Structure 1
Amino acid sequence: MNNWIVKLTVYILLFYNLLFGTNYAFANQAANTYVAQSNNLPGIEQLATAEYRFKENRKEDLWRYREAIKGTDKLEGLFTIYRGEEDSKIYLELKPEQLNKNYLCTVTLESGIGESGIYSGLPLQDFLFYFRRVNNRLHFVVRNVKFRTEQDEPELRSLARSFSDSVLYALEIDSIDPYSKNILINLNHLLMQDFPGLTSLLKYYLRADYRLEENTSYFGDVGSFPFNLEIESVYSFSSPEGAYLVTLPDSRALTLKVHYSFSQLPENNGYIPRLADDRVGYFITAFQDFSKNNGKEPFVRYINRWHLEPSDPNAPLSPPKKPIVFWIENAVPLEYRDAIREGVLMWNQAFAKAGFQNAIEVRQMPDDADWHPADVRYNTIRWFNSLDAGFARGPARVNPLTGEILDADIIVDANMVRSIQQEYRALIAEKVGAEHLGDCGVMPNSQFPIQNSDSDICYGAEFSDQAAMGALALSLLQNATPTSDEMKEYVHQYIRSLIAHEVGHTLGLRHNFHGSTMLAPQELNNTEVTHTKGLVGSVMDYLPVNIAPQGTQQGDYFPAVVGPYDEWAIEYGYKPHPDFSVEAMMPEAEKPFLEKIALASPQPELSYATDEDIWDINPLANVWDMSSDVLVYSQWQMDNARAMWQRLDLHYPLRGESYSDLRVLFSSILRYYFRNASLLTQYIAGQSFGRHHADESMRPSFVPVSLEQQRQVLAKLQEYVFAEDAFSFPPQLLNQLAPSRWQHWGNFIPVSRLDYPIHERIQRFQAVILRSLLDSDRLNRLRDIEFKTPPGQALSMPVLFSTLQEDIWTEVVNTKEPKPISSLRRSLQREHLNILLDMVLRTTDVPEDARTLAWFELRQLRKAIDAGLKHQNENLDIYTQAHLEETSDRITKALNAGLLSR
């Protein structure tokens, strides 16, 4: 028995000696004594040999570790960094306790190329990761946060097997300190390769194959702090063919700078996730909870918000312990900083309703700041330049486990305001494709990880155009050149509104496209109302410039305060629970408290509709509209546009200026006219949609637009879009619309006619509106609404078809003799004819009832044309006669073809 005790003691002490290198002489002596006395102890010699070898290996490890960091600068912080002055390598040191621990990685594109989607300041990625040691490699692993369960639940074992994390890289361990066991890795192996996926990004946006050139890539600034590590990588890319780019001196080579922030997640800081509610528009952090198998809803949804705590929980209004601080980057032009500051601080009004005094602060980044705007410790409002971007964005970085917002950086392209820096006449600058009057609307999300970039760019371009129209109205509608102070105030309102919208996103709020419909049209320019209640219910809408109708005193062009919905949403997201207790409070415990706030949602000024709610169904949930009666508002704006194009050539161009400016201004006014006309189409087969929950009032979720309103809309479309006299331009104006003749990089001459293609422009817009009215989705909704509405209270498909035909073919239908038909009307009639023929010939997908109605209307039209042509009206010009005879012939052939096909 004693022999085994001695054996065990010897093995333990020798093993301890191998691990920690302490020379226990008594252990060695015990081993030698026992060997002399007994021949039955195997392995002692082998252990002694292993001890010797281990000591030699440990010496080698220590030498390798010291050689790696020899001559380097040591930066201590969250991770210790070793960087040499001459060596391009950077080493990162990991402590044993930092393995398998969650950290947040945020990746920002610090420098771009200024065009084609590659812009400075864009967020690229943010995710949760950890380091895991496997043998002699260190895995960089992205944590899967989509599926969770309680730590003590049996399901936890199955989740690890069921849903994988993502191992992005397996890094060679360079060396290990034999005493501290700290691991040293070469960061070049992680961050000097295409870590953010720039190669794919360049291929997606530039349509060219670029490869990373490691020999010309390098590390920029590096900073290690107690809770975060900041690193810049400068990547060089090359392509044998290059891409079609004008901002680069040679597109075969380009350089991009990427900023990395590796930061520690807040732990045990008292933050309590707050449950989301679909009646209030917040960005959310969602995961599937496998510990709640009995619940109806498998997902848990937290809103994304900042961690705000009142310094005095018992006070009705208290400063936060730690306010949200935004820094205005030192690159922002001086003349815009006050407007930006006001746009940020507008939100303190909402936070006051939630119990926080001065929840947000604004500070100016010093010119000699020793920190970088992308540093995760600072929330910044940044300024960048581009050739073609023209947008602003307000993304936030979030703890993916809790929804806590940790960092936010708003980026603003100088193009958003550059055109309004000097005089109002420079608001519309000549740019590539400026006269191509496409309609942005809300674009689909980008398929690339830069989230919503296409939508943002579209929003920026349209918002800039809206600002341009307001500035133009300052001159043309007031019949007086605006003063410098008036222009400064206008620009101030524009920038303040732009920043307030983006700050709302950084506070966690989604778009609210119902927000612009709070006030009646007659209240829009009453500053006593707009400065107290607000111009709109929410600044999170895409807001047009508020141009007063002629004869009305102009009020605010853009909101001066946040709206009631904004205050209510901030209350839901940030108001502290009255029985706040970190120890006792869980997210589910706040449900009754939050439900009381959310119950206010049916109030009209709190209506909410976001991106997925605005596809042609709700006429009040739209972009670039205003007031609770869009029918009246749109008519006002179309009248304003008509007045502007009638007066345009009287004010522009100024002596010595190019006529090309006049062309761009005319195109913008025409586009503004048609954007407002297109708002009216939403009423046809329109339905309001409410996000309210069931209660004792039993309000329906969908309420169709009244038949009377839809009839009014059709009448207004006839008057402003389809009628013979809808478009009347001074001939002198049309003959002055000269194009720009500057041809060089960044200012290419469009391949099109020199003279202004007025027929083509009007025909294109009329076709868009007409095809929208007879779109398959709209026709299906009309059919469904008829089924869901008492007889005679819904707009029917037969009424829509007959009304459009009577309005568009007025010169032929319901008249004894055909009248001469103008060129614009002939183009419109051909478009209408083509739509009906496509239905009959089954080249388009529409309800069967629509096909039969198209067949019926075509027969009626042919009958009217044939009867009219029999009168041999000598007043008919050859254009009209040929047009009508061909129309009749096409109808006959199409109807016969339809019969044969059956």
Structure 2
Amino acid sequence: MKYWIGKLFICVLLIYSWLIGTNSAVANQLANIDMSQLPTHPVWENMFIDNRKEDLRLFREIVRGTEKLPGLFTLYRHHEDGSIYLELTPEQLNKNYLATVTLESGLGESGIYSGLPLSDFLFYFRRVNNNLHFVIRNVKFRTDPGEPEQRSLARSFSDSVLYAIEIDTINPHSKNILIRLDRLLMQDLPGLTPLLKYSLQADYRLELSKSYFDDVKSFPENLEIDSIYGFYSYDGSNLVTLPDSRALSLKVHYSFSQLQEHNGYIPRIADDRVGYFITAFQDFSSDRHSEPFVRYINRWHLEPTDPTAPLSPPKQPIVFWIENAVPLEYRDAIREGALMWNKAFAKAGFSNAIEVRQMPDDADWHPADVRYNTIRWFNSLDAGFAKGPMRVNPFTGEILDADIIVDAGMVRSIQQEYLTLMDGNASQNPCGDIGEKAGGKNAIIMPPSEICYGKDSLDQAAMGALALSLLQNNTPNSEAMKEYVHQYLRSVIAHEVGHTLGLRHNFHGSTMLAPQELNNTEITHTKGLVGSVMDYLPVNIAPQGEQQGDYFPGVVGPYDEWAIEYGYKRSPQPEAEKSFLEQIALASPQPELSYATDEDIWDINPLANLWDMSSDVLMYSQWQMDNARLMWERLDRRYLPKGESYSNLRVLFNRVFRYYFRNATLVSQYIGGQSFRRVHAGNDTSWAFVPVSLEKQRQALTNLQDYVFAADALKFSPQLLNQLAPSRWQHWGNPIPNDRLDYPLHDRIFRFQSRILRSLLSSDRLNRLQDIELKTPPGEALTIPELFDTLQKGIWTEIFTPDKAQPISSIRRSLQREHLNILLEMMLQHTHATEDGRTLAWYELRQLQTAIDKQLQQKSENLDISTVAHLELSRDRINKAFNAQLLSN
């Protein structure tokens, strides 16, 4: 049997020798070889030595004349044609590496911004025949090494093979593999084509003839590559920042680094009471636990220099570099914002855990280099946000790198007093704004919460600057305004640095102090203005008659210190870390440690919201609406300097309008509101849900009537309204709205009132009110009948008052028609209202019908034609609806 196998092998060798051109003499010798002598036969050795020589010649030919770049991966670069070859050793195959991909140059609009992170992932190279596979590692499912389950995981869940790259040659001596790098990095690895299609709503294709490698640097533990990608679209897009929108170029920075898998880092288990980003995987090594997932918090690897000391500097601090592109006047605020967190780390046992350094102007490293954590500055036409992403070890949750990007527009919008960057239409705006239409596209690649954070943060900052000017008579170039900008930027950086430390949002963080304490700097400079800087914080504007305190926090809050303690404090006994962490988490019921994050925001908790402030948001929002009314008055009197365009007044009027609306919305959330806390059983006597008191809900309804629905809630002088001129500059970056030339006051007020009213009568809120009746003692809950009756009598005051009939203004008629529309939709089952809601809508319509009849029967001479027509049409619609309901039944 062995003999025939040997003969078959000789046949294969003969065919191979013919294919590679081996001479006939060698072929004849092969045919007569004794099988037992094959491994050591000279013909065998000579043939494969010739092949090795050929492979070596090819390897040397490829790298001849190149610049060799040794490092983590050795590169060979041809400067004549720009081609780059990547060399891999056998030891580098099947080994984990981390890729971080950053958009280094952007377009300055529509979500394509410089410095944005594109992706980060774990990958490895695998050789299959004459191809090198580029594979994304699946880290979602794991088991303990050596467990039988480990054999099934590879069969059950797949890795992702992104590319199969042809191997150019293999060094016969070292067995090193050589491939062309463009076969990997010029295939749109970052996914720019679908990104451009989504953001720009146009089909751009990658053109290799316009794409090339720029800077390439290889280091012992990382490889840094800049790739330039050229794109073309026959139709182009609606971009104003490009000279010709059919063609664009983007620079992408790649950092490929070695993953340190055995560096002494110990993963830390997450707790839902403390807000950290997490690394989660499903563990198949045991079925004894009810929860199949393991969750580690994302955090840096901090080790004390002296483990026995209560306060010790870390062996390796977290170092942030301020990019050399940051303007000089803002560097101190950025430095202070990052260093604010050292107060929290001190509570966790680390002194000077964070350091901030300045990137030299002649630095020989790139801000996107994975070895450096940077705070970067970029410019855009429409972004107005800051973002603090981080890269983590997907096995352990260890944070490896972080880069914060800040749009210059966040500061520019404050200093340019009249500037508004995003005065968008509500139908296009994912944040639900009520301002005027600005035109143009606003596609953003970020999640809606981040879009809104950037836009609303700009609004808050601009409102504070406007308050400084209108309420305190400060000029844009005053020292007070410079200090204000400093406080704002410092707070923004502190928030983003918090993200890079692993912390999630805490939308309960702004409710620590009572309203009367907010401007007491003896409290705010020590304890803090807020419980957590990880909230979306509004500008703190003092009510009239009170001394202004801090506009934005200057120190981190108690929650921030507690969260850092959970994440970073060293357990004295590593084997007992679980009980150590539980003791820290047990403090969560303390009010100043309350935590609510993105998934907890469902218009249910009036103290866990975006852009709210104080432990009594009802009072604080009333203060701010009073401030807004005063600002409108002062805009009316004397705000614009001589020679200034009236179009700037229109922008400022809208800005105050948005601020007023936002605070009214916060008041509305008290109706049917409930607090929600992430308490665990056994460590607290309070409940997870606690309904808002009946007294607070009634007060909220009164405030909404006074500030939103009342006839005199929104009144402006003719002089002010006649000064609200539009901008007449029409060019790129400054489109003129396509709606009315004059200010559409009725439309703005109606949209504002309608949104509040429909929210109050939504099916979700009615369902909550119904449920809360079962959660509270009798007589202590706001009932649906009381809500319906209070709103109807407040909105239709003119016909429910016992006095003589009075005319109804056009603003009121619009509100009343909308209220009627809502009740009719409920009764006729055009909405998802509860059955009780439909029944009460029917009842309220009966009451309204009777009141209208009585009003019209009086035939008062005070009723103008518009009022009579409005009331008769309303009565007619109610009658027809009742008839339609009878017919349907």
TM-score by length of 2: 0.94
Give the conservation status (yes or no) of the 8 Å contact 1:617–1:682. Answer: yes
Give the conservation status (yes or no) of the 8 Å contact 1:306–1:404. Answer: yes
Q: Aligned residue for 1:326?
A: 320
Cα 1:367/1:802, change in 2 over 3 Å = same
Among residues 196, 199, 209, which one is paired with 2:193 in the alignment? Answer: 199
Give the conservation status (yes or no) of the 8 Å contact 2:323–2:377. Answer: yes
Q: Aligned residue for 1:228?
A: 222
Find the aligned partners of 1:65 and 1:628 in 2 and give their Cα distance. Answer: 71
Find the aligned partners of 2:342 and 2:250 in 1 and give their Cα distance. Answer: 37
Give the conservation status (yes or no) of the 8 Å contact 1:310–1:320. Answer: yes
Find the aligned partners of 2:152 and 2:550 in 1 and give their Cα distance. Answer: 59
Find the aligned partners of 2:39 and 2:293 in 1 and give their Cα distance. Answer: 61
Deviations 1:490-521 (Å, cap 9, x if unpaired)? 11001000100000000000000000000000
Query: Aligned AA for 1:618?
Result: N
* C-alpha deviation, 1:40, in angstroms: 7.0
Cα 1:601/1:497, change in 2 over 3 Å = same
Find the aligned partners of 1:506 and 1:86 in 2 and give their Cα distance. Answer: 42
Q: Aligned residue for 1:673?
A: 660
Deviations 1:361-417 (Å, cap 9, x if unpaired)? 000000011100000000000000111111100000010000000000000011111
Q: Aligned residue for 1:365?
A: 359
Kindly report which structure 2 residues correspond to 1:17-166, keeping only aligned pairs within 5 A, or say none.
44=38, 48-166=42-160
* C-alpha deviation, 1:479, in angstroms: 4.3
Give the conservation status (yes or no) of the 8 Å contact 1:108–1:123. Answer: yes
Among residues 169, 185, 209, which one is paired with 1:215 in the alignment? Answer: 209
Gaps (5+ residues) in structure 2?
Answer: 11-16, 18-28, 434-441
Q: Aligned residue for 2:418?
A: 428
How many residues in Structure 1 have an aligned counterpart in Structure 2? 859
* C-alpha deviation, 1:80, in angstroms: 0.6
Deviations 1:680-711 (Å, cap 9, x if unpaired)? 11111110001011115442111111111101
Among residues 485, 491, 502, which one is paired with 1:497 in the alignment? Answer: 491
Query: Aligned AA for 2:373?
Result: N
Q: Aligned residue for 1:803?
A: 790
Query: Aligned AA for 1:723?
Result: A
Find the aligned partners of 2:538 and 2:729 in 1 and give their Cα distance. Answer: 32
Among residues 744, 750, 756, which one is paired with 1:763 in the alignment? Answer: 750
Give the conservation status (yes or no) of the 8 Å contact 1:660–1:737. Answer: yes
2:571 is the counterpart of 1:577: yes
Find the aligned partners of 1:408 and 1:431 in 2 and give their Cα distance. Answer: 28
3-state SS of 1:184 partner? strand
2:556 is the counterpart of 1:562: yes
Find the aligned partners of 1:68 and 1:453 in 2 and give their Cα distance. Answer: 46
Give the conservation status (yes or no) of the 8 Å contact 1:442–1:455. Answer: no
Q: Aligned residue for 1:707?
A: 694
Cα 1:153/1:641, change in 2 over 3 Å = same
Give the conservation status (yes or no) of the 8 Å contact 1:607–1:690. Answer: yes
Query: Aligned AA for 2:249?
Result: T
Among residues 269, 282, 307, which one is paired with 1:275 in the alignment? Answer: 269
Cα 1:42/1:481, change in 2 over 3 Å = closer
Give the conservation status (yes or no) of the 8 Å contact 2:68–2:77. Answer: yes
Q: Aligned residue for 1:388?
A: 382
Larger displacement relative to structure 2 (54-63 or 393-402): 54-63
3-state SS of 2:883 partner? helix
2:837 is the counterpart of 1:824: no
Q: Aligned residue for 1:548?
A: 542
Q: Aligned residue for 1:410?
A: 404
Cα 1:564/1:451, change in 2 over 3 Å = farther
Give the conservation status (yes or no) of the 8 Å contact 2:474–2:481. Answer: no
Find the aligned partners of 1:331 and 1:899 in 2 and give their Cα distance. Answer: 72
Larger displacement relative to structure 2 (805-814 or 102-111): 805-814
Q: Aligned residue for 1:723?
A: 710
3-state SS of 2:497 partner? helix
Cα 1:648/1:454, change in 2 over 3 Å = same
Give the conservation status (yes or no) of the 8 Å contact 2:111–2:443. Answer: no
* C-alpha deviation, 1:867, in angstroms: 1.4
Cα 1:47/1:819, change in 2 over 3 Å = farther
2:457 is the counterpart of 1:457: no
Larger displacement relative to structure 2 (198-207 or 471-480): 471-480
2:649 is the counterpart of 1:662: yes
Cα 1:452/1:275, change in 2 over 3 Å = farther
Deviations 1:509-553 (Å, cap 9, x if unpaired)? 000000000000000000000000000000000000000000000
Find the aligned partners of 2:155 and 2:63 in 1 and give their Cα distance. Answer: 39
3-state SS of 2:367 partner? coil
* C-alpha deviation, 1:432, in angstroms: 6.1
Cα 1:543/1:41, change in 2 over 3 Å = closer
Deviations 1:111-130 (Å, cap 9, x if unpaired)? 01111111110000000000
* C-alpha deviation, 1:441, in angstroms: 4.8
* C-alpha deviation, 1:102, in angstroms: 0.5
3-state SS of 1:194 partner? coil
Query: Aligned AA for 2:322?
Result: I
Task: Tell me how large the CA RMSD over aligned residues is.
Answer: 2.3
* C-alpha deviation, 1:461, in angstroms: 1.4
Cα 1:430/1:704, change in 2 over 3 Å = closer
* C-alpha deviation, 1:481, in angstroms: 4.4
Kindly report which structure 2 residues correspond to 1:528-677, keeping only aligned pairs within 5 A, or say none.
528-580=522-574, 585=575, 589-677=576-664
TM-score by length of 1: 0.93
3-state SS of 1:420 partner? helix
Find the aligned partners of 1:409 and 1:496 in 2 and give their Cα distance. Answer: 16
Find the aligned partners of 2:475 and 2:356 in 1 and give their Cα distance. Answer: 35
Find the aligned partners of 1:438 and 1:847 in 2 and give their Cα distance. Answer: 30
3-state SS of 2:800 partner? coil
Give the conservation status (yes or no) of the 8 Å contact 1:91–1:184. Answer: yes
2:296 is the counterpart of 1:302: yes
Cα 1:736/1:435, change in 2 over 3 Å = farther
Larger displacement relative to structure 2 (685-694 or 82-91): 82-91
2:887 is the counterpart of 1:897: no
Gaps (5+ residues) in structure 1?
Answer: 12-17, 19-31
Query: Aligned AA for 2:593?
Result: L
Query: Aligned AA for 1:605?
Result: E
Find the aligned partners of 2:43 and 2:444 in 1 and give their Cα distance. Answer: 58
Find the aligned partners of 2:857 and 2:432 in 1 and give their Cα distance. Answer: 50
Query: Aligned AA for 1:428?
Result: Y
* C-alpha deviation, 1:427, in angstroms: 2.7
Cα 1:898/1:449, change in 2 over 3 Å = closer
Give the conservation status (yes or no) of the 8 Å contact 1:228–1:262. Answer: yes
Cα 1:696/1:344, change in 2 over 3 Å = closer
Give the conservation status (yes or no) of the 8 Å contact 2:119–2:190. Answer: yes
Larger displacement relative to structure 2 (786-795 or 801-810): 786-795
Deviations 1:147-179 (Å, cap 9, x if unpaired)? 000011000000000000000000111111100
Cα 1:50/1:817, change in 2 over 3 Å = farther
